[in-house]
Amino acid sequence: MFRSGSRARHFASRIMRLQFLVVGVLIVLVTAGTLYASYDRVYSRAEDTSLTIARSVAVLPEVVRDVTKYAAMEDLDEKELASGELQRLANAILEQKQAYFVVITEDRGLRLSHPNPAELGQMVSTDPVGLDGVEAVSREHGTLGESVRAKVPVRNDAGQVIGEVSVGVTTQSLTGALLQSFSWIVLFALLAAGLATVAGRVTVRRLKRQTLGLEPTEIAQLVRDQQAVLYGVTEGVMGIGVDHRITVRNKAARQLLGLPHRTELQDVVGRHFESAGLDRRLVRAIKERDPAPVRLEVNGNSLIARVNDVNRAGLDLGQVVLLRDVTTIEALGTKLDAVQDMADALRAQRHEFANRMHAVLGLIDLGKIEQAEAYLREVMETGPKIAQVPGLEAIQDAYLSAFISAKAVRAHEQGIELRVSNQSMLYGQIASAHDAQDATAVLGNLLDNAFTAALRGTGKPWVEIDLLSEGTTLHLAVADSGPGITTTEDIFARDVSTGSHLGNEHGRGVGLPLIKRLAQARSGDVWIADPGAGTEGAVFAARLPAVLLEPAIPENNKIEGV
């Protein structure tokens, strides 16, 4: 089932929101990481710059000279310091924009240079760690505000610490550098968001096209519906894609075609239909896209296969193969033929009986009572004239006796003599109506084939039936006066026509395979006892176990006292 566009848009909007959320989180994380890296990089560069300048200033000869001079003084003159060499040197460095401040102190921590002349001669506001003879880089808050500063000791020629050089960079300048980096980061983040939006729309459109605009829940429901349809029908269904590979098959198709189970490596799903072990006739129909029904014989079952092309909006989606087991239907058709023959025979006998009753009525109307009585007595003694079967009295079963009589009517109409062999001995009764259907189906088909063959012979046509009982097993044979079987083909194969019926009646060409399977289903068989070799008629034989009732033990064979 397909839903409206609003449901598809709802699905697309959810995908877009999810993509925006993921991309947004990624952008925030990347931006935060980049800012942290930029912050660390900017402060590291400021620390390195401050330390480099401080080291350079601390070793200048004029700095060492003047610091040594001022360190020896008890009192410092602020005016002299303001116009001194150290102040001019510090200002020159500041003018080059390399640092925010350069402060030089003597060994007591008194300032010898400072950006603010009022601070000259005053004690530094931060810890003068350089006077301890160590270099230090720190972030501190002094008279000029918060800054990143480097402190380096000034040493005389003897290596003694006589002062300190402190060079700093304000955090405001660092913040400016960070903001500049941040602007680039934001620009790239916006660009990434734009690209993500475009990619998201393209992805959603492609997804909608591939899913035919269906929601995930609808796709899941379609899969469940497909499984219900495939595995809920008794007919076999097999799908073949445009690449000629089998895409799906249900359980019925696997069983009907004798295919491997899906858990086995030889499973046909995913394989090319020509290499999947299918019947050659089915392969040819698939290759030629032939929609005509194809009759198959697989594992003793009769199948009808039909290949249908599948198209949607002019697009070739592949093929669907439908399989139906018609074994039972054909068997029922054969049994129905037998019933029809019996009905025809009864209709003919009813017509004959009506004619005889008219004869009796005429004799009575004429007052010839004695002739009417004699006529009735003759009818009772001889039975129907139209379908008398020599030797039928050897058949005590009512089903077979009536069926043979019915077949005798058809034989009589075709000018064929139908008789029961003198060696026939059938004293048992058929167990049930179902068993009678199987027995008459086999016997009826053999008789139909024999009638056809007898008419092709050169002499007077005849057909002979031989019936024997062995416990509950029925043995039967049918011989004819035809030319025999001259073909070398297996006449029990599906594609070989036996001409078992005259005209186009049901079952033409499929009777022998059907009755052979019917007999084999009862652990019996049907075979050619004598092909005739072209000089005499053929003899067909059949064995049907468990058709007759258990024979009763005659009274004179019972053991006394038992």
Residues 251-271 have pLDDT tens digits of 878 877 877 776 666 678 878
Question: Which residue intervals of 289-397 are DSSP H helices?
Answer: 327-365, 369-382
How far is 5 from 208, CA to CA, in rounded Å? Answer: 11
Contact by Cβ (8 Å): 545, 473: yes
**pLDDT tens digits, 498-532:** 443 333 332 333 478 888 888 888 899 999 998 88
| Domain 233-324 grouped into CATH 3.30.450.20 | yes
Question: Looking at residue 3, what is its pLDDT?
Answer: 47
Q: Which of 1-5, 188-192, 272-276, 378-382 has the lowest mean pLDDT?
A: 1-5
User: In this structure, what token pair is assigned to residue 340?
Assistant: 């029809």
How far is 439 from 332, CA to CA, in rounded Å? Answer: 13
The percent of residues in the chain predicted with pLDDT above 70, rounded, is: 82
pLDDT at 25 over 90: no
Q: In which residue are the tokens 């139909």 written?
A: 448
pTM for the predicted model, two decimal places: 0.45
* pLDDT (average), residues 238-253: 84
Q: Which of 338-347, 368-377, 483-492 has the lowest mean pLDDT?
A: 338-347
Highest mean pLDDT of the ranges 151-155, 245-249, 359-363 = 151-155
Q: Which whole-number Å values give the CA distances from 492 to 19, 495, 500, in the listed order?
A: 67, 9, 12
Q: Which of 48-57, 81-90, 135-144, 187-196 has the lowest mean pLDDT?
A: 135-144
How far is 208 from 201, CA to CA, in rounded Å? Answer: 10
State in words which class domain 10-177 has.
Answer: alpha beta
pLDDT at 431 over 80: yes
Amino acid at 493: A
* pLDDT (average), residues 459-471: 92
User: In this structure, what token pair is assigned to residue 387?
Assistant: 């379908």
Among 117, 166, 125, CA closest to 142: 125
Question: Looking at residue 401, what is its pLDDT?
Answer: 85
Q: In which residue are the tokens 């029925």 written?
A: 474
Contact by Cβ (8 Å): 450, 437: no
More confident residue, 242 or 233: 242
| Domain 330-544 grouped into CATH 3.40.50.720 | no
Q: What are phi and psi of 204, to 5 degrees?
A: -65, -45
User: In this structure, what token pair is assigned to residue 176?
Assistant: 């400016």
**pLDDT tens digits, 473-503:** 999 999 999 888 876 667 776 554 444 333 3
* pLDDT (average), residues 221-227: 79
For 182-229, the DSSP string reads HHHHHHHHHHHHHHHHHHHHHHHHHHHHHTTT--HHHHHHHHHHHHHH
Q: Which of 17-26, 245-254, 257-266 has the lowest mean pLDDT?
A: 257-266
Amino acid at 348: A
* pLDDT (average), residues 80-103: 84
* pLDDT (average), residues 179-194: 77
| Mean pLDDT rounded to a whole number for the chain | 79
Q: In which residue are the tokens 């189906």 written?
A: 441
Could you tell me the pLDDT band of residue 468, with boundaries at 50, 70 and 90?
A: very high
* pLDDT (average), residues 5-10: 54
Q: Boundaries of CATH 3.30.450.20 in the chain?
A: 10-177, 233-324
DSSP 8-state symbol, 96: T
How far is 257 from 327, CA to CA, in rounded Å? Answer: 14
Question: Looking at residue 351, what is its pLDDT?
Answer: 65
Largest Cα–Cα distance of the chain, in whole Å?
Answer: 183
How far is 426 from 446, CA to CA, in rounded Å? Answer: 18
Q: How many CB atoms lie within 10 A of CB 121?
A: 20
Question: Looking at residue 2, what is its pLDDT?
Answer: 45
Amino acid at 523: S
Q: How many CA atoms lie within 13 A of 148 on its CB side?
A: 20
Question: Looking at residue 350, what is its pLDDT?
Answer: 72
User: In this structure, what token pair is assigned to residue 250?
Assistant: 């249900």
* pLDDT (average), residues 355-368: 77
pLDDT at 148 over 60: yes
* pLDDT (average), residues 392-417: 85
Q: How many CB atoms lie within 10 A of CB 74?
A: 4
Could you tell me the pLDDT band of residue 421, with boundaries at 50, 70 and 90?
A: very high
Q: Which of 154-168, 330-344, 501-515 has the lowest mean pLDDT?
A: 501-515
**pLDDT tens digits, 539-562:** 999 999 999 987 654 444 444 443
